[in-house]
Amino acid sequence: MKPFLAALTFAVLTAIVANYVLLGNFARPVASAFATEGARVGDPGSNLTGY
């Protein structure tokens, strides 16, 4: 039972750390992520689905 709890704890902590690392470093709005001349991204407010 102890190895299972240790593995579960490790998995949860890894998921939490990965969430903060990925959202903090790699999440960008689409207008700035694809800001090259080859991408056809217009005004980010005009192409949303109405959330």
Distance, CA of 25 to chain centre: 9
44, 31 Cβ separation under 8 angstroms:
yes
| Secondary-structure breakdown of the chain: helix, strand, coil percentages, each rounded to the nearest 5 | 55, 0, 45
d(CA 43, CA 28): 15
Q: What is the pLDDT of residues 8-33, one digit of tens each?
A: 999 999 999 998 888 877 776 666 65
d(CA 32, CA 46): 15
Q: What is the pLDDT of residues 30-41, one digit of tens each?
A: 666 555 666 555
Split at pLDDT 50, 70, 90, the class of 5 is very high
37, 27 Cβ separation under 8 angstroms:
no
